[in-house]
Amino acid sequence: MPRRSSSSCVPDLRRPIGVGIVGLSARGGWAAGAHLPALAAVNGMELLALAVSSPASAHAAGAMYNVPAYTSIEELAGDDNVDLVVVAVKVPRHREIVLPALEAGVPVLTEWPLAVDLAEAEEMQHAAGRTRTFVGLQGRSSPTFRWLTDLVSQGFVGEVLSATVVASSTEWGTPVSQRQVYALDRQLGATMLTIAFGHAIDLVSMVVGELQDVVATTATRRPQVPLGTTGQVVPMTAEDQIAVSGTVKGGAILSVHHRGGAASGAGFSLVIDGTQGRLEVTGTEFPHIGPVTVHGTRNGSQPARLTPPSGHDRYPDLAGTVSHTLAHAYAAIRHDLIHGTALAPDFAHAVRRHRLLDAIQRSAATGQRTTTRL
């Protein structure tokens, strides 16, 4: 398929940015439940095509969403109405879908993790060339975390001394469906380290800075987990305990402990201590898609709940849903495509995040402090 010219990749402002989603099924799922409401909330973006794996699935999905439905990424990327290809399928299939879309010269948004490992992520970044790319680290578009980043940079806590994260996931230890068994295999790239930890550490890094080096300990404490209610068990090689510490730029210490299969449910806590105050961020879901509560104290005052300024949230009607941060991410992507800005994270950012995860795995394997090479 010939690559589109750079001029053809600039959206026609006389119509909405046309989105084609790979993995949008008539049976529902993440693309239908999260991406579609987010797209519907953003003015100037519209679902105009989709691609699924079989003719029967394409017929059903095309009829349900009233858009052209294809069975190959080449057909989807060749649709002149598609200005952005969204890849919303399992991680092991990302490469086979992303590379043809990039070859066609169409901007691509790929769910996080970008790839099964660092080498594959670097390959996709290199293949992009000058084509615009985006990665689904939508937590970076969260109104609350963007405000938190401003609070810290503006000196609310003074000089940051340390940041401590304790997080837990109910997955990776509790009963798993047949559809999600692949997430138990470390080699397939959709693990607790890459998904739950990866999203969380990306947000924390935005607020307090990137880790310059890491000392990591990981473990798979449940090498077998139940398969639904069948009474069977299936093997798990993915890490279900992750403990990381290191220094960020400026010398502050960041420590993180992420636990899988937590009986008490999912949770997230970030405590930032500084020379003049403290910020405490808590939530009961993954922080990149769920709401968090913020308390702060300065100069010995009593902790008080803090809230972002009025108007900070562009899509308050979606607050509390998995589409909330995605809508803000799509708005950033639209702005980037039209104005040439870099508001949304791209494949280069995804590679930096993969390098951090790779450093964590290398440190855990060797027991040595490892530089992150970001």
Q: Are residues 297 and 239 in the same domain?
A: yes
Domain containing 282 — which CATH number?
3.30.360.10
Q: Is residue 193 part of a domain?
A: yes
Coil, strand, or helix at residue 199? helix
DSSP code at position 83:
S
Name the domain boundary from 93, 111, 129: 111
Helix ranges, the chain (H): 30, 36-41, 55-65, 73-78, 94-103, 118-128, 143-153, 198-208, 324-339, 347-366
Instruction: Report the DSSP pairing between strands 233-235 and 293-298.
Output: unpaired
DSSP string, 9-68: GS--TTSPEEEEEET-BTTB-HIIIIIHHHHHHSTTEEEEEEE-SSHHHHHHHHHHHTS-
Give the model's pLDDT for residue 1: 52
> What is the mean pLDDT for each group of 10 consecutive residues in the chain (374 residues)?
54 82 95 97 98 95 97 97 98 98 98 98 98 98 97 98 97 95 97 98 98 98 95 97 97 98 92 98 95 96 94 94 98 97 98 98 96 85
pTM of the model: 0.95
Given a contact cutoff of 8 angstroms between Cβ atoms, the answer to whether 324 and 315 are in contact is yes
Q: Are residues 51 and 200 in the same domain?
A: no
Q: Is residue 119 part of a domain?
A: no
Coil, strand, or helix at residue 94? helix
Which are the contacts of 356, defined by CB distance < 8 A and separation ≥ 6? Answer: 201, 205, 210, 211, 214, 372, 374
DSSP code at position 222:
-
Planar angle of CA 272, 278, 281, nearest 5 degrees:
60
Q: Are residues 232 and 299 in the same domain?
A: yes
Give the model's pLDDT for residue 10: 56
Name the domain boundary from 111, 132, 150: 111
Q: Are residues 165 and 214 in the same domain?
A: yes
Give the model's pLDDT for residue 91: 98
Q: Are residues 91 and 205 in the same domain?
A: no
Domain containing 40 — which CATH number?
3.40.50.720
Domains held by the chain: number = 2
Given a contact cutoff of 8 angstroms between Cβ atoms, the answer to whether 210 and 353 are in contact is no
Q: Are residues 248 and 187 in the same domain?
A: yes
- Give me the domain span that covers residue 88: 7-111
Give the model's pLDDT for residue 5: 55
Q: Are residues 206 and 350 in the same domain?
A: yes
Q: How far apart are CA 120 and CA 354, in angstroms?
A: 10
- 191's tokens: 């693990």
